[in-house]
Structure 1
Amino acid sequence: MSADRFWPGRYTDRHGTEAVVFETDGRESIRTTIRGVRFEGDSMDGLGALGGDPPDAPFTFFDGALSSCLMEWEVPLSVAVEGEGVRTAVLDCALRLGAPAGPGKGLDAETLTTTLRLDGHAYTNAEGADTFENALDEVQRQLPAGTRMRACVACAWSDYSPLGNGLMAGLACFRDAKDRYRRVDGKHRPTGIFALWDQHTEFVQETWLCGEFEHRSGTHTGYRGPFPARRRL
């Protein structure tokens, strides 16, 4: 995969707002500096101070990660437009992390909003999305016919564990096991995702993209199904 990428953004809490840059390897590492403090984590809702010790600068933490704040950032996202080829759009992301709700209770709120901006139009997921998978699925449904995202979440070779997934990342790439992945049709049995799981190439973020991307469509949809997902009746 290519080198690290940089997402311009902003961090806001009750102490003020600061322009920041989030640096990511597209897999399981996100880093940034806020008020002179270096943070790192595998997800935007899991950024903790490097070294593990609480910094002197004012922040609120829950289970070692930032909370009681709003993080905003921009991600370039490729889209394929029928008849026009591949275009570059901008995905605006906003993650609002609430306050600690008490021991063993997590945060009192966690809200993700994604907005894809293309040709002067904005396509936004409804408030309340809890993962990038769900948010981007909803955004894809709003795009004009013939317009499709080109990102790992929409790739033929990516899948989640049946055990569940968090806000972002944790998306297994099977580009080095394509022949076997084509036969995946459930959880168990020799053709289930569990039988193939250890052969995944790596874990990636939903908005990442590599040169082996293929649209997730047709009869081959792995364990998690097509993208966007079929609506339940």
Structure 2
Amino acid sequence: MSAGQFWPGRYTDRHGTEAVVFESDGRELIRTTIRGVRFEGDSMDDLGALGGEPPEDPFTFFDGALCSCLLEWEVPMSIAVEGQGVRTVVLDCALRLGAPAGPGRGLEAETLTTTLRLDGREYRNDGDHDFEDALNELQRRLPDGTRLRACVACAWSDYHPVGHGLMSGLACFRSAKDIYRLVEGKRGPDNIFDAWDARTEFVQETWLCGEFEQRNTTHTGYRGPFPSRRWW
């Protein structure tokens, strides 16, 4: 794993609560140790046990990944506040993974809640299925003149039209800006499919690099502006 971040957090299930630390490279790898068992995955809802078959106790698994639990962690983030410059804040994340619903039916529930505390106030999404929706909702609730600085809000990032999971499916085009700048949707002569193979890498929505540029309404690629326009 390349140099990354360490996110303090907690793991809770019917057996109790344990303080844990999640190690992330900001791209497609997350690791942690829970009750002496090492877990790894490319997303918080896909953490599988390393070193063979998943232990039967004291965990619950679905398709090899942890479930029937609550994962909580803290992610450092940057925000730009008009008149104040860039500030560092902490994003509190809570992912509730339900029990298996049955063969081929996934989990009974999967809900992500994010909370950002700023100047004595809390800003929170209502509970979504992925980081794209959660952070879009969070940005809409922040005060005017306050903007998230993270890959999800960057001018050089986009999703594949087929869809994506909870996190880590955001494509970065920072090394192919001229190509990505032409993208206007998923159809036509300048579509996201033609540019897709030029992507630099996949990143987590909360990551941030030195080439960040705020996404705006001038060029919105395939996925549109950030925050996204409400359709309801």
With the length of structure 1 as denominator, give the TM-score of the two structures. Answer: 0.97
Counterpart AA for 2:205: E
Q: What's the secondary structure of 2:136's corresponding residue?
A: helix
Aligned to 1:3: 3
**Displacement of 1:44:** 0.1
- The yes-or-no answer on 1:126 pairing with 2:126 is yes
Matched length? 231
Q: What's the secondary structure of 1:9's corresponding residue?
A: strand
- The yes-or-no answer on 1:113 pairing with 2:97 is no
What is the correspondence of 1:66-215 to structure 2 with a 5 Å cutoff? 66-127=66-127, 129-215=128-214
Q: Is the 8 A contact 1:92 1:114 kept in 2?
A: yes
- The yes-or-no answer on 1:41 pairing with 2:41 is yes
Q: Is the 8 A contact 2:48 2:54 kept in 1?
A: no
**Displacement of 1:56:** 5.8
Q: What's the secondary structure of 1:230's corresponding residue?
A: coil
**Displacement of 1:188:** 3.0
Q: Deviation per CA, 1:37-60, whole angstroms, max 9, x where unpaired?
A: 000000000000012312264100
**Displacement of 1:98:** 0.3
Aligned to 1:23: 23
**Displacement of 1:7:** 0.3
For residues 150 and 117 of structure 2, the distance between their equivalents in structure 1, rounded to whole angstroms, comes to: 15
Q: Which moved more, 1:47-56 or 1:58-67?
A: 47-56
For residues 85 and 54 of structure 2, the distance between their equivalents in structure 1, rounded to whole angstroms, comes to: 48
Q: Is the 8 A contact 1:90 1:118 kept in 2?
A: no
For residues 117 and 87 of structure 1, the distance between their equivalents in structure 2, rounded to whole angstroms, comes to: 12
Percent identity among equivalent residues? Answer: 77
Counterpart AA for 1:230: R
Q: What's the secondary structure of 2:197's corresponding residue?
A: helix
Q: Is the 8 A contact 1:39 1:49 kept in 2?
A: yes
For residues 188 and 144 of structure 1, the distance between their equivalents in structure 2, rounded to whole angstroms, comes to: 35
Q: Is the 8 A contact 2:21 2:32 kept in 1?
A: yes
Q: Deviation per CA, 1:90-145, whole angstroms, max 9, x where unpaired?
A: 10000000000110010001011000111111100013x01100000000001111
For residues 136 and 220 of structure 1, the distance between their equivalents in structure 2, rounded to whole angstroms, comes to: 20
For residues 140 and 187 of structure 2, the distance between their equivalents in structure 1, rounded to whole angstroms, comes to: 30
Counterpart AA for 2:5: R
Aligned to 2:60: 60
Q: What's the secondary structure of 2:73's corresponding residue?
A: strand
Q: What's the secondary structure of 2:194's corresponding residue?
A: helix
Q: What's the secondary structure of 1:10's corresponding residue?
A: strand
Structure 2: gaps of 5 or more residues: none
For residues 182 and 218 of structure 2, the distance between their equivalents in structure 1, rounded to whole angstroms, comes to: 10
For residues 105 and 77 of structure 1, the distance between their equivalents in structure 2, rounded to whole angstroms, comes to: 35
For residues 78 and 173 of structure 1, the distance between their equivalents in structure 2, rounded to whole angstroms, comes to: 18
The two structures, once aligned, show a CA RMSD in angstroms of 1.1
For residues 190 and 175 of structure 1, the distance between their equivalents in structure 2, rounded to whole angstroms, comes to: 21
For residues 178 and 168 of structure 1, the distance between their equivalents in structure 2, rounded to whole angstroms, comes to: 23
Stretches of 4+ aligned residues off by more than 4 angstroms: none
